[in-house]
Structure 1
Amino acid sequence: MRIRVVSSREEIFNLNPNERIVHLAFRPSNKDIFELVETCPKIEVIQLPKSYMATVSKSMEIFLEMQRIQLIEGDVWGHRKDINEYYTIPSSVTEKIKEMKSEGRSAEDIEARVSRENRLNPKTVAYIMSKEVPA
């Protein structure tokens, strides 16, 4: 699974319209989020660093909820945008999730353990579980 990392407002207009997961590495305004949703109509998840989550307005949260777009907190640890515009979640994460599911572990247990071991937000792990790993 790949997360498109966007480091500035200007990049929004150059995004592939098929992007599904976008990490905004800048503090977005309501206008920036509207433009992102307009540019990428298939978007499912917008990820923001923890410090930026508090600045998202309630009206924007409601708008995203109405559009069925998840707003989740998270970082792309160790990612260098100058090398690659995508942050790739290692296949070992999905393998670990599959393994834990086959062991009969609960979704909460899987989210907690995988997020702790891989420095991913539990909601990001939940999204991966829903999209990448069959039940």
Structure 2
Amino acid sequence: LILIGMGTGIAPFRAFIKHLYKNVRDWKGQVRLFYGAKSGLELLYLNDKDGDMTQYYDEGTFKAFHAVSPRPAFDDPIALDVAMEDRANEILEMLQYANTHIYVAGYEKIKGVLDKAFASIMGSPEAWKTRKAELIAGGKWAEVIY
């Protein structure tokens, strides 16, 4: 699972991750959570950086990566692309698996940033467009955008 939540978009993933690790006893899959916001104030639903997610995640399968805007007062974008590209090899490997799902929640403008980051990771916009279409067609891409 690749989970991407910006701002208050982190809220649904908190409940989902808790459910996954508490109730799905045979869960062995990898979970990568990318979360962040323009500023720390937009992370109200997270509690603190390591927050309550550390109460129920599995260190062997769960990793979380935090991204914030480098200059929130100047309306700079959240550095989500940097956080993802720093882990490009891991994301690329996950994208090769047929059972990988991607869930996105956050602001409308995140979509362009994600497409750019995934295209870079996949090696070209065309490769990403094809893979994203496969994910969507297979019901393995879901987004809640506002």
TM-score by length of 1: 0.35
Task: Name which structure has the greater RCO, CA cutoff 8 Å, separation 6+.
Answer: 2
TM-score by length of 2: 0.33
Higher strand share: 2
